[in-house]
A and B are shown apart, each in its own frame.
Chain A
Amino acid sequence: MELVKRYIAAVQRELPEAKRDEIGRELNANIMDQLDMLAEQQGELTDTDIAAVLKQMGHPRTVAQQFVPVQPLINASYMSLYKNTLFMVLGILFVLHVIDVTTHWLSSADMGLIGYGFALFGGFIDDACFGFTSITLAYWLMSRQQPVANSGCGSNWQPEKLPSAGPGWQHIKLQDIFTDLASYIFLLVVIWYPLYMSAEQLAQSALLLSSNVRLILQYSTPLIVLGIVHSLWQLRQRLWSRSMLATHVLLNAAIAVIALYLASTSPLLELNTERWLGVFNLQQLERSAMITLVIIALIPAWEALRDTLRLRKLK
């Protein structure tokens, strides 16, 4: 009977402490009944016979899970809300992190472009881990309470208020909204950083745009602010409408034109040549900046074209 004791102990180890004794006692009674019945049919039982009966009962963990089913960390009724919160918070954290790291990069003499990239993504992973853990813990605590049946999907809804059935692209993804938002805020920080930096910090800055470029960008500020407002509008609606698409087309077309205009401007950068000595020469950097701007212009140009086509299809 040593095998039975071991089996019951293994099942009990997988159970919550409060239920171990009761379930162990009952399981023992059931197994003993079964062994008695087998002994009546076969005579004295060997360890092999007992092992076969226990094996038929199932793995201790499986049996324990049948008695006390495993509760998911987050209740299924909260899952959709949980994913939405997660994306929303991670998006906001990303935007805040972009502002923080970009400000630091612009005012730091020690941080190069590679350092900026590492700080941006490495730091965001830290923030994301913190955000993920906090949100998961909050939902875990909510799930431990009595879950609200079909939370957020109660009977208080009207079919007439549902948005019209449109094409798949009409639903705006949260990650798209937050990517746009982060890009606009990044641009704002880059354009206006000389305002809130001391002369000393400016002298140490790794990236200096020429005064001509800065002026063009400063004039573009209303457009960028409009972009931020538009992203917030998307966040509220989450569904492309004709007016939203039209604004998006205009916004992207204007951004593409500005980027192309900047690419044709010279000089683009105002460099501390001593600092870059032996790494790049001025011409190489200017050319790289120009190519980068053309590539950057292609992205909003593509979005403007795509949205124009979508606008024509949307009724």
Chain B
Amino acid sequence: MTTAQLDKMRLELRRGVLVLAVLASLKQPHYGYSLRKQLQDGGIDIDEGTLYPLIRRLADQGLLDSEWQQGEGRERRYYQLSELGAELLSQLTDEWQHLNNSLSNLLGTASQETK
């Protein structure tokens, strides 16, 4: 497999997971840069060009509430999970856990067969 193919598949794999990670991180209010730091600290590296548009799209879908606030001499837009977002996060978390269990079994079986 070429690096380009691997990059493309990794991108596809990460795309849905990033939404879940962003929604989970926004249980507390965050502005763009602080959210990126929180994700990075949690081991999820996401570049700015992807994260900032993603937050806006989620807000446009009504999953996040946002508010401009003044802080440290500069205005910042804070985002937080909306009611709809919280509901969706709970459903997505269940889905993720179900998928994760099934995949762990599958990947476990696959790795035993390859040994």
Known contacts A29-B74, A34-B33, A23 near B49 by CB under 8 Å = no
Q: Does B97 contact A (CB under 8 A)?
A: no
Tell whether A89 is near chain B: CB-to-CB under 8 Å.
Answer: no
Interface check A121, CB cutoff 8 A: no
Contacts of B56 in A (CB 8 A): 23, 26, 67
Q: Which residue on chain B has the smallest CB distance to residue A35?
A: B33
Q: Using A26-B32, A56-B47, A66-B53 as known contacts, list a sample of 17 further A-B pairs with CB atoms less than 8 Å apart, ordered by residue number in A.
A: A26-B52, A26-B56, A29-B31, A29-B32, A29-B77, A33-B34, A33-B74, A33-B76, A36-B72, A58-B47, A58-B48, A62-B49, A63-B49, A63-B53, A66-B49, A66-B52, A66-B54
| Contact in complex: B74, A32 (CB < 8 Å) | yes
Task: Kindly provide the distance from the CB of B76 to the nearest chain A CB, expressed in whole angstroms.
Answer: 5
Cβ A66 vs Cβ B50 within 8 A = yes
- B53 and A67: CB pair below 8 A? yes
Cα–Cα distance between A56 and B54 once the two chains are bound (Å): 17
A63 to B56 CA separation, bound complex (whole angstroms)? 13
Instruction: Pick the most buried of B56, B72, B74: most chain A CB atoms within 10 A of its CB.
Output: B56
Instruction: Determine the residue in chain A with the shortest Cβ distance to B56.
Output: A67
| B7 interface residue per 8 A CB criterion | no
Chain A 1-38 interface 0/1 with B at a Cβ cutoff of 8 Å (1 = within):
00000000000000000000001011101101110110
Interface residues of B (CB under 8 A from A): 31-34, 47-50, 52-54, 56, 72, 74-77
Instruction: List the interface of chain A (C-beta within 8 A of B).
Output: 23, 25-27, 29-30, 32-34, 36-37, 56-58, 62-63, 66-67
For A22, give the chain B residue with the smallest CB separation.
B56
CA distance A32 to B75 in the complex (A): 10
Cβ-defined contact, B74 with A30, below 8 A: no
**Cα of A26 to Cα of B35 in the assembled complex, Å:** 14
DSSP majority for the B interface? helix
Chain A residues with CB under 8 Å of B52's CB are: 26-27, 30, 66-67
Q: Report how far A34 CA is from B76 CA in the complex, Å.
A: 12
Residues of B within 8 A of A57 (CB): 47-49
Could you say which residues of chain A place their CB within 8 Å of the CB of B77? 25-26, 29
- List 9 A–B pairs whose Cβ atoms lie within 8 Å, in order of A's numbering: A26-B52, A29-B75, A30-B32, A32-B74, A33-B31, A34-B48, A57-B47, A63-B49, A66-B52
A25 / chain B contacts, CB cutoff of 8 Å: 75, 77
> Which residues of B have CB within 8 Å of A36?
72
Closest to A66 in B: B53
| CB-nearest residue of chain A to B75 | A29
Q: A30-B32, A33-B33, A34-B33 are in contact. Are A58 and B49 (CB under 8 A)?
A: yes
A36 to B76, CA, bound (A): 13
Alpha-carbon distance A56/B50, docked complex (angstroms) = 11
A301 to chain B, nearest CB (A): 50
Pick the contact of A33: B32, B47, B53 (CB < 8 A).
Answer: B32
Kindly state the separation between the CA atoms of A91 and B50 in the bound complex, as whole angstroms. 45
- Provide the residues of chain A in CB contact with B49, threshold 8 Å: 57-58, 62-63, 66
Q: How far is the CA of A271 from the CA of B10 in the complex (A)?
A: 74
* Residues of B with C-beta under 8 A to A32: 74
Write the nearest CB–CB distance from B112 to chain A, whole angstroms.
39
Q: Could you say which residues of chain A place their CB within 8 Å of the CB of B47?
A: 56-58
A30-B32, A37-B33 known; A56+B75 contact, CB < 8 A: no
Residues in A neighbouring B74, C-beta threshold 8 A: 29, 32-33
- CB of B91, distance to nearest CB on chain A (Å): 21
Nearest Cβ in chain A — how far from B7, in angstroms? 15
Provide the bound-state CA to CA distance between A66 and B74, in Å. Answer: 25
CA distance A32 to B64 in the complex (A): 23
